Amino acid sequence: MFEGFDDFFEEVFEAFGHATHWKLFPETLEVLTQLKARGFELGIISNFDSRYFQVARALEIHPYFDSVTISSLAGAAKPASKIFSFALEQHMLNPDEALHVGDHPIEDYEGARQAGLHTVLIDRSASGGCEHQSLSSLVPLLTLPLLQPSKT
């Protein structure tokens, strides 16, 4: 926040509703393609608002996701357990059957962990000390039997 922020709010709000102000990380589409090809159900859990749908279509990522849970529709925001429960219901999963991947230590990692999900924190900073610095590092994790897609 800065002095005069209110004068710019509408312009900033409008700008972030367009894909021109968003960029996918280089490995994103490749990893999403691999996961879908292996039969995983994928979902988004976001504290963003309904502008997400417009951005996802423009970035061409919407076909990869089986569900989208945004805080304004779920009635709760991360790190609240309620938003994670809302997302799990869309897939008819128990918390221990899901893996949540995110980049925020509190909203994503702790929120999902408190809700009972398996969690992975992506830390793209070189100094973060986290072993997961990209989505590509997740692919080997998904060979674990616990995280295999259902055969039913």
> Mind listing the pLDDT tens digit for each residue in 107-118?
999 999 999 999
Torsion angle in degrees (nearest 10) through CA of 42, 12, 72, 120: 40
Kindly state the percentage of the chain with pLDDT values over 70: 81
What mean pLDDT is reported for the chain? 85
Average pLDDT of 101-112? 96
User: For residue 95, what are its two tokens?
Assistant: 């918390």
pLDDT at position 29 over 90: yes
Delineate the domains of the chain, giving CATH numbers in brackets: 23-138 (3.40.50.1000)
Write the CA distances from 50 to 16, 18, 54, 63, 70, integer angstroms: 11, 12, 8, 17, 7
Q: Are 76 and 115 in contact (CB under 8 A)?
A: no
Which amino acid belongs to residue 70? Answer: I
Predicted TM-score (pTM) of this structure? 0.81
